[in-house]
Amino acid sequence: MSNKRAALLLAQLLVCLLALTGCHGSKGLEAFAVPQEFDETQQHEITFWAKNDTNMTQVAIYEDAIRGFEALYPNIRVNLRLYTDYSKIYNDVITNIATQTTPNVCITYPDHIATYMTGTNSVVPLDALFENEKYGLGGSEVRFDSPTQEEIIGQFLGECVLGGRHYAVPFMRSTEACYVNRTYVEALGFTLPETLTWDFIWEVSEAAMTKDEEGNFLVNGQKVMIPFIYKSTDNMMIQMLRQRNAGYSTDDGRIEIFNDTTRELLYTVAEHAKSGAFSTFKISSYPANFLNAGQCIFAVDSTAGATWMGPDAPLIDISEEKLVDFEIEVMTIPQFDPEHPKMISQGPSVCIFNKEDPQEVLASWLFTQYLLTNDVQIAYACTEGYVPVTSKAQSSGAYQEYLARSGEDNDEHYDVKIRASKLLLDNTHSTFVTPVYNGSASLRSAAGQMIEEVTKAVRRKKTVDDAFMEKLFADMTSLYRLDQLAGQGKTEMIGEDDPGPLPDAAVALIAALAGTWILMGAYVLRQRIRKKK
Protein backbone atom coordinates (compact mmCIF):
# COMPACT_ATOMS: atom_id res chain seq x y z
CA MET A 1 0.00 0.00 0.00
CA SER A 2 1.49 3.41 -0.96
CA ASN A 3 1.47 6.34 1.46
CA LYS A 4 -0.91 8.09 -0.86
CA ARG A 5 -3.39 5.25 -0.87
CA ALA A 6 -3.12 4.96 2.91
CA ALA A 7 -3.84 8.66 3.30
CA LEU A 8 -6.81 8.36 0.96
CA LEU A 9 -8.22 5.46 2.96
CA LEU A 10 -7.72 7.41 6.15
CA ALA A 11 -9.51 10.39 4.69
CA GLN A 12 -12.40 8.16 3.62
CA LEU A 13 -12.56 6.58 7.04
CA LEU A 14 -12.60 10.01 8.68
CA VAL A 15 -15.40 11.14 6.42
CA CYS A 16 -17.37 8.03 7.38
CA LEU A 17 -16.63 8.59 11.04
CA LEU A 18 -17.70 12.21 10.96
CA ALA A 19 -20.83 11.28 9.06
CA LEU A 20 -21.63 8.58 11.56
CA THR A 21 -21.01 10.65 14.65
CA GLY A 22 -22.59 13.63 12.99
CA CYS A 23 -25.80 11.70 12.58
CA HIS A 24 -25.93 11.12 16.27
CA GLY A 25 -27.49 14.09 17.89
CA SER A 26 -28.82 15.60 14.70
CA LYS A 27 -31.95 13.48 14.36
CA GLY A 28 -33.99 16.09 16.22
CA LEU A 29 -34.46 19.76 15.53
CA GLU A 30 -31.79 22.35 14.91
CA ALA A 31 -30.80 24.28 18.00
CA PHE A 32 -32.96 27.34 18.47
CA ALA A 33 -31.43 30.73 17.71
CA VAL A 34 -33.25 33.91 18.69
CA PRO A 35 -34.47 35.73 15.54
CA GLN A 36 -33.37 39.32 15.07
CA GLU A 37 -36.98 40.49 14.81
CA PHE A 38 -40.34 39.05 15.70
CA ASP A 39 -42.30 38.83 12.46
CA GLU A 40 -45.72 40.26 13.28
CA THR A 41 -47.03 39.66 9.80
CA GLN A 42 -46.84 35.92 10.35
CA GLN A 43 -49.73 34.14 12.10
CA HIS A 44 -48.80 31.69 14.85
CA GLU A 45 -50.91 29.11 16.60
CA ILE A 46 -49.27 27.80 19.75
CA THR A 47 -50.46 25.23 22.26
CA PHE A 48 -50.19 25.61 26.00
CA TRP A 49 -50.52 22.52 28.17
CA ALA A 50 -51.43 23.68 31.62
CA LYS A 51 -52.17 22.06 34.93
CA ASN A 52 -54.82 23.14 37.39
CA ASP A 53 -55.60 21.81 40.85
CA THR A 54 -59.17 20.83 39.86
CA ASN A 55 -59.91 24.47 40.48
CA MET A 56 -62.09 26.29 37.97
CA THR A 57 -60.80 29.69 39.07
CA GLN A 58 -57.37 28.66 37.88
CA VAL A 59 -58.84 27.60 34.55
CA ALA A 60 -60.49 31.00 34.25
CA ILE A 61 -57.18 32.73 34.98
CA TYR A 62 -55.41 30.80 32.24
CA GLU A 63 -58.18 31.76 29.85
CA ASP A 64 -58.00 35.42 30.91
CA ALA A 65 -54.24 35.39 30.46
CA ILE A 66 -54.61 34.02 26.95
CA ARG A 67 -57.19 36.64 26.05
CA GLY A 68 -55.00 39.42 27.43
CA PHE A 69 -51.96 38.16 25.55
CA GLU A 70 -53.81 37.67 22.26
CA ALA A 71 -55.09 41.23 22.49
CA LEU A 72 -51.49 42.45 22.64
CA TYR A 73 -50.27 40.08 19.95
CA PRO A 74 -53.12 39.58 17.47
CA ASN A 75 -50.93 37.39 15.28
CA ILE A 76 -50.54 34.77 18.02
CA ARG A 77 -53.33 32.38 18.90
CA VAL A 78 -52.90 30.28 22.06
CA ASN A 79 -54.75 26.98 22.39
CA LEU A 80 -55.15 25.80 25.96
CA ARG A 81 -55.15 22.14 26.93
CA LEU A 82 -55.88 21.46 30.57
CA TYR A 83 -54.65 18.75 32.86
CA THR A 84 -55.19 18.08 36.55
CA ASP A 85 -52.22 15.81 36.96
CA TYR A 86 -48.50 16.48 36.34
CA SER A 87 -47.81 12.83 35.58
CA LYS A 88 -50.38 12.83 32.76
CA ILE A 89 -48.67 15.86 31.20
CA TYR A 90 -45.34 14.08 31.56
CA ASN A 91 -46.62 10.93 29.85
CA ASP A 92 -48.24 12.87 27.03
CA VAL A 93 -45.15 14.97 26.41
CA ILE A 94 -42.92 11.90 26.23
CA THR A 95 -45.32 10.31 23.77
CA ASN A 96 -45.30 13.46 21.65
CA ILE A 97 -41.55 14.01 21.62
CA ALA A 98 -41.15 10.98 19.38
CA THR A 99 -43.55 12.41 16.82
CA GLN A 100 -42.38 16.02 17.25
CA THR A 101 -45.88 17.01 18.28
CA THR A 102 -45.01 18.46 21.65
CA PRO A 103 -46.89 21.51 22.88
CA ASN A 104 -45.20 24.87 22.46
CA VAL A 105 -45.46 25.91 26.07
CA CYS A 106 -45.89 23.45 28.90
CA ILE A 107 -46.34 23.52 32.66
CA THR A 108 -43.82 21.12 34.07
CA TYR A 109 -41.39 20.06 36.78
CA PRO A 110 -37.60 20.24 36.32
CA ASP A 111 -37.36 16.45 36.92
CA HIS A 112 -39.56 15.98 33.89
CA ILE A 113 -37.59 18.43 31.76
CA ALA A 114 -34.49 16.34 32.39
CA THR A 115 -36.24 13.46 30.67
CA TYR A 116 -37.62 15.63 27.87
CA MET A 117 -34.08 16.76 27.14
CA THR A 118 -33.09 13.29 25.98
CA GLY A 119 -34.79 14.32 22.73
CA THR A 120 -32.23 16.33 20.73
CA ASN A 121 -32.89 20.06 21.05
CA SER A 122 -36.42 19.28 22.17
CA VAL A 123 -36.47 21.80 25.01
CA VAL A 124 -35.37 25.36 24.35
CA PRO A 125 -32.62 26.75 26.62
CA LEU A 126 -33.87 30.14 27.71
CA ASP A 127 -30.71 32.05 28.61
CA ALA A 128 -30.35 33.76 25.24
CA LEU A 129 -34.03 34.66 25.35
CA PHE A 130 -33.74 36.04 28.90
CA GLU A 131 -30.92 38.33 27.82
CA ASN A 132 -32.29 39.42 24.45
CA GLU A 133 -32.43 43.19 24.45
CA LYS A 134 -35.65 43.42 22.49
CA TYR A 135 -37.68 40.36 23.49
CA GLY A 136 -35.99 39.23 26.67
CA LEU A 137 -37.07 39.73 30.26
CA GLY A 138 -37.96 43.40 30.50
CA GLY A 139 -37.04 43.75 26.81
CA SER A 140 -37.57 46.97 24.87
CA GLU A 141 -39.98 45.44 22.33
CA VAL A 142 -42.09 43.45 24.77
CA ARG A 143 -45.62 44.85 24.81
CA PHE A 144 -46.33 44.30 28.47
CA ASP A 145 -44.68 45.01 31.77
CA SER A 146 -42.50 41.94 31.97
CA PRO A 147 -40.20 41.35 34.94
CA THR A 148 -36.45 41.64 34.59
CA GLN A 149 -34.36 38.59 35.36
CA GLU A 150 -33.39 40.15 38.68
CA GLU A 151 -37.06 40.47 39.58
CA ILE A 152 -37.60 36.70 39.42
CA ILE A 153 -36.86 35.26 42.86
CA GLY A 154 -33.33 33.92 42.47
CA GLN A 155 -33.93 30.73 44.40
CA PHE A 156 -36.96 29.83 42.29
CA LEU A 157 -35.22 30.66 39.02
CA GLY A 158 -32.23 28.61 40.13
CA GLU A 159 -34.48 25.57 40.38
CA CYS A 160 -34.94 25.76 36.61
CA VAL A 161 -31.25 25.34 35.85
CA LEU A 162 -30.25 22.04 34.32
CA GLY A 163 -26.66 21.49 33.35
CA GLY A 164 -25.79 25.15 33.79
CA ARG A 165 -28.60 26.54 31.66
CA HIS A 166 -32.16 27.68 32.31
CA TYR A 167 -34.62 25.34 30.66
CA ALA A 168 -37.72 26.75 32.34
CA VAL A 169 -39.04 29.69 34.25
CA PRO A 170 -40.85 29.25 37.54
CA PHE A 171 -44.59 29.91 37.30
CA MET A 172 -45.81 29.40 40.87
CA ARG A 173 -44.15 28.11 44.01
CA SER A 174 -45.52 26.17 46.94
CA THR A 175 -44.19 23.94 49.67
CA GLU A 176 -45.83 21.43 51.96
CA ALA A 177 -47.69 22.37 55.10
CA CYS A 178 -49.04 20.38 58.00
CA TYR A 179 -52.71 21.20 58.50
CA VAL A 180 -53.43 20.47 62.14
CA ASN A 181 -56.66 19.85 64.04
CA ARG A 182 -55.65 21.97 67.02
CA THR A 183 -58.89 21.14 68.82
CA TYR A 184 -58.02 17.45 68.96
CA VAL A 185 -54.36 18.03 69.84
CA GLU A 186 -55.41 20.03 72.86
CA ALA A 187 -58.20 17.59 73.74
CA LEU A 188 -55.51 14.94 73.97
CA GLY A 189 -53.65 17.09 76.49
CA PHE A 190 -50.89 18.41 74.23
CA THR A 191 -49.85 21.94 73.33
CA LEU A 192 -48.71 22.67 69.81
CA PRO A 193 -45.06 23.72 69.74
CA GLU A 194 -43.92 26.68 67.66
CA THR A 195 -42.39 24.27 65.15
CA LEU A 196 -43.71 20.75 64.75
CA THR A 197 -41.27 17.93 65.28
CA TRP A 198 -41.53 14.34 64.11
CA ASP A 199 -41.40 13.15 67.71
CA PHE A 200 -44.33 15.37 68.66
CA ILE A 201 -46.45 14.16 65.76
CA TRP A 202 -45.76 10.49 66.47
CA GLU A 203 -46.48 10.96 70.17
CA VAL A 204 -49.80 12.73 69.63
CA SER A 205 -50.77 10.31 66.87
CA GLU A 206 -50.24 7.30 69.11
CA ALA A 207 -52.17 8.98 71.91
CA ALA A 208 -55.09 9.45 69.52
CA MET A 209 -55.38 5.71 68.94
CA THR A 210 -57.11 5.00 72.25
CA LYS A 211 -60.60 3.53 71.83
CA ASP A 212 -63.60 3.07 74.07
CA GLU A 213 -65.23 -0.30 74.80
CA GLU A 214 -67.36 -0.06 71.67
CA GLY A 215 -64.36 0.48 69.43
CA ASN A 216 -64.86 4.21 68.93
CA PHE A 217 -61.80 6.43 69.12
CA LEU A 218 -61.97 8.53 72.25
CA VAL A 219 -60.71 11.67 70.56
CA ASN A 220 -63.44 11.87 67.92
CA GLY A 221 -66.06 9.31 68.98
CA GLN A 222 -65.91 7.74 65.52
CA LYS A 223 -64.91 4.33 64.20
CA VAL A 224 -62.33 5.92 61.91
CA MET A 225 -59.23 7.85 62.97
CA ILE A 226 -55.91 8.01 61.12
CA PRO A 227 -54.07 10.69 63.11
CA PHE A 228 -51.29 11.33 60.60
CA ILE A 229 -51.76 11.14 56.82
CA TYR A 230 -49.14 12.17 54.31
CA LYS A 231 -50.19 13.07 50.76
CA SER A 232 -46.83 12.83 48.97
CA THR A 233 -44.64 10.12 50.43
CA ASP A 234 -41.99 11.05 47.84
CA ASN A 235 -41.70 14.40 49.56
CA MET A 236 -41.94 12.82 53.00
CA MET A 237 -38.87 10.66 52.48
CA ILE A 238 -36.92 13.35 50.60
CA GLN A 239 -37.51 15.93 53.32
CA MET A 240 -36.77 13.54 56.18
CA LEU A 241 -33.47 12.63 54.57
CA ARG A 242 -32.55 16.26 53.94
CA GLN A 243 -33.44 17.21 57.50
CA ARG A 244 -31.18 14.42 58.72
CA ASN A 245 -28.42 15.44 56.29
CA ALA A 246 -28.54 11.90 54.93
CA GLY A 247 -27.79 10.77 51.41
CA TYR A 248 -30.36 10.90 48.61
CA SER A 249 -28.40 11.38 45.41
CA THR A 250 -25.44 13.41 44.23
CA ASP A 251 -25.85 16.20 41.69
CA ASP A 252 -24.52 13.93 38.97
CA GLY A 253 -27.01 11.16 39.64
CA ARG A 254 -25.19 8.79 41.94
CA ILE A 255 -27.84 7.09 44.08
CA GLU A 256 -27.28 7.39 47.80
CA ILE A 257 -30.75 6.72 49.14
CA PHE A 258 -30.19 3.14 50.26
CA ASN A 259 -28.48 4.00 53.52
CA ASP A 260 -28.82 3.42 57.25
CA THR A 261 -30.79 6.61 57.86
CA THR A 262 -33.37 5.57 55.28
CA ARG A 263 -33.60 2.20 56.99
CA GLU A 264 -34.08 3.84 60.38
CA LEU A 265 -36.76 6.19 59.04
CA LEU A 266 -38.62 3.28 57.47
CA TYR A 267 -38.59 1.37 60.76
CA THR A 268 -40.18 4.38 62.44
CA VAL A 269 -42.82 4.62 59.71
CA ALA A 270 -43.49 0.89 60.09
CA GLU A 271 -43.96 1.21 63.83
CA HIS A 272 -46.64 3.88 63.49
CA ALA A 273 -48.29 2.39 60.44
CA LYS A 274 -48.64 -0.87 62.36
CA SER A 275 -50.58 0.84 65.14
CA GLY A 276 -52.77 2.58 62.58
CA ALA A 277 -51.46 6.01 63.59
CA PHE A 278 -50.05 6.72 60.14
CA SER A 279 -51.23 6.21 56.59
CA THR A 280 -50.78 7.68 53.15
CA PHE A 281 -52.88 9.17 50.39
CA LYS A 282 -52.21 6.19 48.14
CA ILE A 283 -53.42 3.74 50.74
CA SER A 284 -56.29 5.63 52.34
CA SER A 285 -57.32 8.72 50.31
CA TYR A 286 -56.99 12.49 50.47
CA PRO A 287 -55.74 13.81 53.83
CA ALA A 288 -58.16 16.74 53.50
CA ASN A 289 -61.20 14.47 53.48
CA PHE A 290 -60.13 12.73 56.69
CA LEU A 291 -59.14 16.04 58.31
CA ASN A 292 -62.46 17.68 57.50
CA ALA A 293 -64.39 14.65 58.76
CA GLY A 294 -62.54 14.81 62.08
CA GLN A 295 -60.74 11.56 61.26
CA CYS A 296 -57.22 12.95 61.02
CA ILE A 297 -55.17 15.30 63.19
CA PHE A 298 -52.07 15.98 61.10
CA ALA A 299 -52.67 16.22 57.35
CA VAL A 300 -49.59 17.00 55.30
CA ASP A 301 -50.28 18.27 51.82
CA SER A 302 -49.13 21.00 49.50
CA THR A 303 -49.77 24.61 50.41
CA ALA A 304 -51.42 24.54 46.99
CA GLY A 305 -54.06 22.26 48.50
CA ALA A 306 -55.03 24.72 51.22
CA THR A 307 -58.43 25.57 49.79
CA TRP A 308 -59.52 21.98 50.55
CA MET A 309 -58.43 22.11 54.19
CA GLY A 310 -60.67 22.89 57.13
CA PRO A 311 -64.37 22.75 57.90
CA ASP A 312 -64.94 26.14 56.27
CA ALA A 313 -62.86 25.38 53.18
CA PRO A 314 -64.21 26.75 49.91
CA LEU A 315 -63.59 23.38 48.25
CA ILE A 316 -64.96 20.31 50.01
CA ASP A 317 -65.06 16.75 48.73
CA ILE A 318 -67.16 15.08 51.42
CA SER A 319 -70.82 15.40 52.20
CA GLU A 320 -71.90 18.16 54.55
CA GLU A 321 -73.13 15.75 57.22
CA LYS A 322 -69.62 14.30 57.52
CA LEU A 323 -67.99 17.69 58.23
CA VAL A 324 -66.77 18.25 61.78
CA ASP A 325 -66.12 21.67 63.28
CA PHE A 326 -62.60 22.23 64.63
CA GLU A 327 -59.88 24.85 64.90
CA ILE A 328 -57.31 24.43 62.17
CA GLU A 329 -53.65 25.40 62.35
CA VAL A 330 -51.31 25.75 59.37
CA MET A 331 -47.76 24.77 60.31
CA THR A 332 -44.49 23.88 58.66
CA ILE A 333 -43.94 20.18 58.08
CA PRO A 334 -42.43 18.30 61.05
CA GLN A 335 -38.73 18.78 61.59
CA PHE A 336 -35.89 16.86 63.19
CA ASP A 337 -34.07 20.08 64.03
CA PRO A 338 -36.65 22.82 64.63
CA GLU A 339 -33.91 25.44 64.86
CA HIS A 340 -32.95 24.74 61.26
CA PRO A 341 -36.16 23.85 59.41
CA LYS A 342 -35.97 22.38 55.94
CA MET A 343 -38.81 21.94 53.51
CA ILE A 344 -39.19 21.24 49.85
CA SER A 345 -39.74 23.88 47.19
CA GLN A 346 -42.24 22.75 44.59
CA GLY A 347 -44.74 24.13 42.16
CA PRO A 348 -45.14 24.46 38.43
CA SER A 349 -42.52 25.79 36.07
CA VAL A 350 -42.93 26.51 32.37
CA CYS A 351 -40.76 25.16 29.58
CA ILE A 352 -40.79 25.83 25.87
CA PHE A 353 -40.49 23.12 23.26
CA ASN A 354 -38.42 23.73 20.19
CA LYS A 355 -40.02 23.93 16.74
CA GLU A 356 -38.69 24.18 13.20
CA ASP A 357 -39.79 27.80 12.92
CA PRO A 358 -37.82 30.03 15.32
CA GLN A 359 -40.54 32.67 15.00
CA GLU A 360 -42.98 30.19 16.53
CA VAL A 361 -40.56 29.61 19.41
CA LEU A 362 -40.25 33.36 19.91
CA ALA A 363 -44.04 33.62 20.03
CA SER A 364 -44.02 30.87 22.67
CA TRP A 365 -41.43 32.76 24.66
CA LEU A 366 -43.45 35.97 24.59
CA PHE A 367 -46.47 34.09 25.95
CA THR A 368 -44.34 32.40 28.61
CA GLN A 369 -43.07 35.79 29.68
CA TYR A 370 -46.63 37.06 29.86
CA LEU A 371 -47.34 34.41 32.50
CA LEU A 372 -44.81 36.24 34.72
CA THR A 373 -46.61 39.57 34.62
CA ASN A 374 -48.10 40.86 37.85
CA ASP A 375 -51.69 40.39 36.73
CA VAL A 376 -51.26 36.69 35.98
CA GLN A 377 -48.93 36.01 38.89
CA ILE A 378 -51.12 37.60 41.53
CA ALA A 379 -54.39 36.26 40.17
CA TYR A 380 -53.09 32.69 40.03
CA ALA A 381 -51.27 32.85 43.38
CA CYS A 382 -54.50 33.94 45.01
CA THR A 383 -56.32 30.78 43.91
CA GLU A 384 -54.36 28.54 46.25
CA GLY A 385 -51.56 28.60 48.81
CA TYR A 386 -49.06 29.53 46.10
CA VAL A 387 -46.72 32.47 46.07
CA PRO A 388 -45.83 34.59 43.03
CA VAL A 389 -42.35 33.92 41.67
CA THR A 390 -41.35 37.54 41.10
CA SER A 391 -40.39 40.11 43.70
CA LYS A 392 -42.28 42.54 41.54
CA ALA A 393 -45.56 40.70 42.16
CA GLN A 394 -44.80 39.79 45.76
CA SER A 395 -44.13 43.40 46.73
CA SER A 396 -46.97 44.89 44.73
CA GLY A 397 -49.72 46.73 46.54
CA ALA A 398 -52.34 44.39 45.19
CA TYR A 399 -50.65 41.29 46.56
CA GLN A 400 -49.86 42.88 49.89
CA GLU A 401 -53.47 43.93 50.23
CA TYR A 402 -54.58 40.38 49.43
CA LEU A 403 -52.38 38.99 52.21
CA ALA A 404 -53.58 41.60 54.66
CA ARG A 405 -57.20 40.67 54.10
CA SER A 406 -56.70 37.12 55.36
CA GLY A 407 -59.87 35.71 56.86
CA GLU A 408 -62.23 38.38 55.56
CA ASP A 409 -64.20 35.67 53.80
CA ASN A 410 -64.02 31.95 53.14
CA ASP A 411 -63.44 32.34 49.46
CA GLU A 412 -60.69 34.52 47.99
CA HIS A 413 -59.46 35.53 51.44
CA TYR A 414 -59.84 32.12 53.10
CA ASP A 415 -57.44 32.37 56.01
CA VAL A 416 -56.03 28.83 55.74
CA LYS A 417 -55.03 29.49 52.15
CA ILE A 418 -53.38 32.83 52.92
CA ARG A 419 -51.64 31.40 56.00
CA ALA A 420 -50.27 28.64 53.77
CA SER A 421 -48.89 31.24 51.34
CA LYS A 422 -47.36 33.21 54.21
CA LEU A 423 -45.75 30.02 55.48
CA LEU A 424 -43.77 29.78 52.26
CA LEU A 425 -43.04 33.50 52.08
CA ASP A 426 -41.61 33.31 55.61
CA ASN A 427 -39.61 30.16 54.91
CA THR A 428 -38.39 30.53 51.33
CA HIS A 429 -34.82 30.58 52.66
CA SER A 430 -35.40 27.16 54.24
CA THR A 431 -36.60 25.47 51.07
CA PHE A 432 -34.60 23.13 48.89
CA VAL A 433 -34.91 21.06 45.75
CA THR A 434 -33.36 17.73 44.86
CA PRO A 435 -30.77 17.26 42.09
CA VAL A 436 -32.22 17.01 38.61
CA TYR A 437 -30.91 14.64 35.94
CA ASN A 438 -32.35 12.19 33.49
CA GLY A 439 -33.87 9.61 35.83
CA SER A 440 -34.23 11.80 38.92
CA ALA A 441 -38.01 11.42 38.62
CA SER A 442 -37.55 7.66 39.08
CA LEU A 443 -35.50 8.09 42.22
CA ARG A 444 -38.14 10.42 43.57
CA SER A 445 -40.81 7.77 42.96
CA ALA A 446 -38.67 5.11 44.65
CA ALA A 447 -38.25 7.33 47.72
CA GLY A 448 -42.00 7.48 48.24
CA GLN A 449 -42.65 3.92 47.24
CA MET A 450 -40.46 2.64 50.07
CA ILE A 451 -42.75 4.35 52.58
CA GLU A 452 -45.80 2.93 50.80
CA GLU A 453 -44.35 -0.59 50.78
CA VAL A 454 -43.40 -0.54 54.44
CA THR A 455 -46.79 0.83 55.41
CA LYS A 456 -48.63 -1.80 53.39
CA ALA A 457 -46.42 -4.56 54.73
CA VAL A 458 -47.15 -3.93 58.38
CA ARG A 459 -50.85 -3.42 57.69
CA ARG A 460 -50.76 -6.86 56.08
CA LYS A 461 -49.07 -8.26 59.16
CA LYS A 462 -45.80 -8.96 57.40
CA THR A 463 -42.52 -8.77 59.25
CA VAL A 464 -40.46 -5.69 58.57
CA ASP A 465 -36.90 -6.57 59.49
CA ASP A 466 -33.45 -6.32 57.98
CA ALA A 467 -34.22 -9.02 55.42
CA PHE A 468 -37.35 -7.09 54.38
CA MET A 469 -35.30 -3.91 54.03
CA GLU A 470 -32.67 -5.60 51.91
CA LYS A 471 -35.31 -6.98 49.59
CA LEU A 472 -37.10 -3.64 49.49
CA PHE A 473 -33.93 -1.82 48.48
CA ALA A 474 -33.24 -4.42 45.80
CA ASP A 475 -36.82 -4.30 44.52
CA MET A 476 -36.78 -0.50 44.31
CA THR A 477 -33.46 -0.55 42.48
CA SER A 478 -34.85 -2.99 39.97
CA LEU A 479 -38.34 -1.51 39.60
CA TYR A 480 -37.10 2.03 39.02
CA ARG A 481 -33.95 0.90 37.18
CA LEU A 482 -31.83 2.86 39.62
CA ASP A 483 -28.82 0.68 38.91
CA GLN A 484 -28.93 2.02 35.36
CA LEU A 485 -28.99 5.61 36.58
CA ALA A 486 -26.18 5.43 39.05
CA GLY A 487 -23.49 7.93 38.15
CA GLN A 488 -24.62 8.24 34.56
CA GLY A 489 -23.80 11.90 34.54
CA LYS A 490 -25.39 15.27 34.63
CA THR A 491 -28.18 16.33 32.38
CA GLU A 492 -25.87 18.84 30.74
CA MET A 493 -24.34 15.88 28.94
CA ILE A 494 -27.66 14.99 27.37
CA GLY A 495 -28.69 18.32 26.01
CA GLU A 496 -28.43 19.91 22.65
CA ASP A 497 -24.74 20.61 22.30
CA ASP A 498 -23.22 17.39 23.48
CA PRO A 499 -24.23 14.50 21.27
CA GLY A 500 -24.01 12.05 24.16
CA PRO A 501 -22.10 8.80 24.15
CA LEU A 502 -20.96 7.52 20.80
CA PRO A 503 -23.00 4.75 19.23
CA ASP A 504 -21.46 1.29 19.13
CA ALA A 505 -20.82 1.51 15.38
CA ALA A 506 -18.81 4.70 15.82
CA VAL A 507 -16.79 3.14 18.62
CA ALA A 508 -16.05 0.17 16.33
CA LEU A 509 -15.02 2.53 13.54
CA ILE A 510 -12.67 4.45 15.82
CA ALA A 511 -11.11 1.16 16.86
CA ALA A 512 -10.72 0.21 13.18
CA LEU A 513 -9.16 3.60 12.48
CA ALA A 514 -6.70 3.23 15.28
CA GLY A 515 -5.80 -0.20 13.97
CA THR A 516 -5.36 1.20 10.45
CA TRP A 517 -3.09 3.96 11.76
CA ILE A 518 -0.94 1.40 13.50
CA LEU A 519 -0.75 -0.74 10.37
CA MET A 520 0.03 2.28 8.19
CA GLY A 521 2.67 3.44 10.64
CA ALA A 522 4.25 0.01 10.60
CA TYR A 523 4.13 -0.04 6.78
CA VAL A 524 5.75 3.40 6.39
CA LEU A 525 8.39 2.52 8.95
CA ARG A 526 9.14 -0.73 7.12
CA GLN A 527 9.46 1.10 3.77
CA ARG A 528 11.87 3.63 5.25
CA ILE A 529 13.96 0.93 6.81
CA ARG A 530 14.08 -0.83 3.41
CA LYS A 531 15.10 2.43 1.65
CA LYS A 532 17.87 3.05 4.15
CA LYS A 533 19.10 -0.44 3.57
Chain positions contacting another protein, by CB under 8 A: 52, 54, 56, 59-60, 81-84, 91, 283-286, 289, 317-319, 322, 456, 459-461
- Least separation, in Å, of the C-beta of 215 and another protein? 13
What's the N-to-C CA distance of the chain in angstroms?
Answer: 19
Of 25 and 314, the one with the shorter C-beta distance to another protein is: 314
CB atoms within 10 A of CB 256: 14
> Could you tell me which residues come within 8 angstroms of residue 390 by beta carbon, excluding any fewer than 6 positions away?
147, 151, 152, 153, 372, 374, 377
- Least separation, in Å, of the C-beta of 285 and another protein? 4
Cβ 352 vs Cβ 368: under 8 Å? yes
- Least separation, in Å, of the C-beta of 451 and another protein? 15
CB atoms within 10 A of CB 533: 5
CB atoms within 10 A of CB 111: 23
Cβ 176 vs Cβ 303: under 8 Å? yes
Of 281 and 326, the one with the shorter C-beta distance to another protein is: 281
How many Cα neighbours within 13 Å face the side chain of 503?
11
Burial tier of 411 (Cβ tally within 10 Å: 0-12, 13-18, 19+): exposed
b vs e for 189-227, b when ≥16 Cβ sit within 10 Å of the residue's Cβ?
Answer: ebeeeeebebebbbebbbbbbeeeeeeebebbeeeebbb
Of 195 and 285, the one with the shorter C-beta distance to another protein is: 285
- Least separation, in Å, of the C-beta of 284 and another protein? 7
- Least separation, in Å, of the C-beta of 2 and another protein? 59
Of 55 and 235, the one with the shorter C-beta distance to another protein is: 55
Of 61 and 297, the one with the shorter C-beta distance to another protein is: 61
508-517 CB contacts, 8 Å cutoff, 24+ apart: 509/13, 509/16, 509/17, 509/20, 510/17, 512/13, 513/10, 513/13, 513/14, 513/17, 516/6, 516/9, 516/10, 516/13, 517/10
Strands 105-108 and 349-352: antiparallel
- Least separation, in Å, of the C-beta of 87 and another protein? 10
What ranges in 56-126 are assigned the alpha helix state H? 56-72, 86-98, 110-116
> Could you tell me which residues come within 8 angstroms of residue 268 by beta carbon, excluding any fewer than 6 positions away?
198, 202
Of 200 and 286, the one with the shorter C-beta distance to another protein is: 286
Residues facing residue 82 across a β-bridge: 50
Of 149 and 284, the one with the shorter C-beta distance to another protein is: 284
Of 317 and 470, the one with the shorter C-beta distance to another protein is: 317
- Least separation, in Å, of the C-beta of 95 and another protein? 12
- Least separation, in Å, of the C-beta of 63 and another protein? 9
- Least separation, in Å, of the C-beta of 186 and another protein? 28
Of 273 and 362, the one with the shorter C-beta distance to another protein is: 273
Of 354 and 442, the one with the shorter C-beta distance to another protein is: 442
- Least separation, in Å, of the C-beta of 83 and another protein? 8
What ranges in 29-152 are assigned the alpha helix state H? 56-72, 86-98, 110-116, 127-131
Of 160 and 382, the one with the shorter C-beta distance to another protein is: 382
- Least separation, in Å, of the C-beta of 454 and another protein? 14
- Least separation, in Å, of the C-beta of 59 and another protein? 4
Of 76 and 293, the one with the shorter C-beta distance to another protein is: 293
How many angstroms separate the most distant Cα atoms in the chain? Answer: 110
- Least separation, in Å, of the C-beta of 264 and another protein? 25
The continuous run of DSSP H or E covering 332 comes out as: strand 328-332
The continuous run of DSSP H or E covering 478 comes out as: helix 466-479
**Pairwise CA distance, residues 519 & 517, whole Å:** 5
Residues facing residue 229 across a β-bridge: 279, 299
Burial tier of 112 (Cβ tally within 10 Å: 0-12, 13-18, 19+): buried
Of 12 and 91, the one with the shorter C-beta distance to another protein is: 91
Rg (CA), the chain: 28
What letter does residue 174 receive in the DSSP assignment?
A: B
What ranges in 276-390 are assigned the alpha helix state H? 281-284, 287-292, 358-370, 374-381
